[in-house]
């Protein structure tokens, strides 16, 4: 019996280290492992070299509805469903694999990473709680994250109908001025 608990603890430590490297917050680590908060704090400091960030996890679905987060969240959901269907993975394993694919995709197109692992994990929890769902865009046919129970019969995604202020951040303004002669 003791060997089983030692093995479980070793697996939880390995899982926690992997999640920390991917950017998981403490609340996610506590929910996904059986390790004590003190042990997780020590692991976090050992892996990252700093204390974990403080603060609450996102608890509102609204973040996922704004233009850029919605695009990234919708991409992640497509990857998550792909991993579930074709790799046979479920739960946290599917989330981690889909998140790695998301990161690879973002890096290959040299895009800004918008979705953190903790946000991706929260997104799945919102879907499981039926607070969010997917809707098919009537223009492009893509699947996008929407609030549950919102009317979706005439849904048009943020890529087909880009908001006027989309992508106009201080960061893009600075990048644009760097390109000027």
Separation CA 74–CA 65 (nearest Å):
10
- 157 annotated binding-site participant: yes
Is 140 annotated for ligand binding?
yes
Is 160 annotated among the ligand-binding residues? yes
CA distances from 42 to 8, 9, 38, 57 (A): 18, 15, 6, 20
**C-alpha closest to that of 95 among 70, 68, 69, 126:** 126
Task: Count the Cβ atoms, other than its own, within 10 Å of residue 58.
Answer: 16
CA distance 26 to 4: 25
Ligand-binding annotation for 139, yes or no, is no
**Residue stretches of the annotated binding site:** 137, 140, 157, 160
**Residue stretches of the annotated binding site for Zn(2+):** 137, 140, 157, 160
């Amino acid at each position: 019996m003791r060997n089983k608990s030692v093995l479980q603890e070793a697996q939880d430590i390995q899982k926690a280290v992997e999640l920390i490297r991917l950017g998981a917050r403490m609340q996610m680590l506590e929910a996904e492992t059986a390790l004590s908060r003190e042990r997780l704090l020590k692991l976090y400091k050992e892996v990252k070299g700093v204390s974990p960030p403080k603060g609450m996890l996102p608890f509102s679905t609204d973040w996922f509805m704004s233009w850029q987060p919605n695009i990234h969240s919708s991409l992640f959901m497509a990857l998550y469903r792909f991993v579930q269907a074709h790799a046979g993975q479920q739960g946290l394993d599917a989330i981690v694999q889909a998140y790695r694919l998301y990161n690879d995709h973002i890096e290959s197109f040299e895009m800004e990473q918008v979705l953190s692992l903790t946000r991706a994990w929260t997104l799945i929890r919102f879907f499981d709680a039926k607070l969010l769902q997917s809707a098919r865009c009537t223009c492009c046919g893509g699947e996008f994250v929407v609030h549950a129970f919102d009317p979706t019969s005439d849904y048009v995604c943020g890529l087909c109908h880009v908001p006027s202020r989309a992508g106009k951040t201080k960061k893009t303004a600075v990048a644009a001025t760097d390109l000027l002669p």
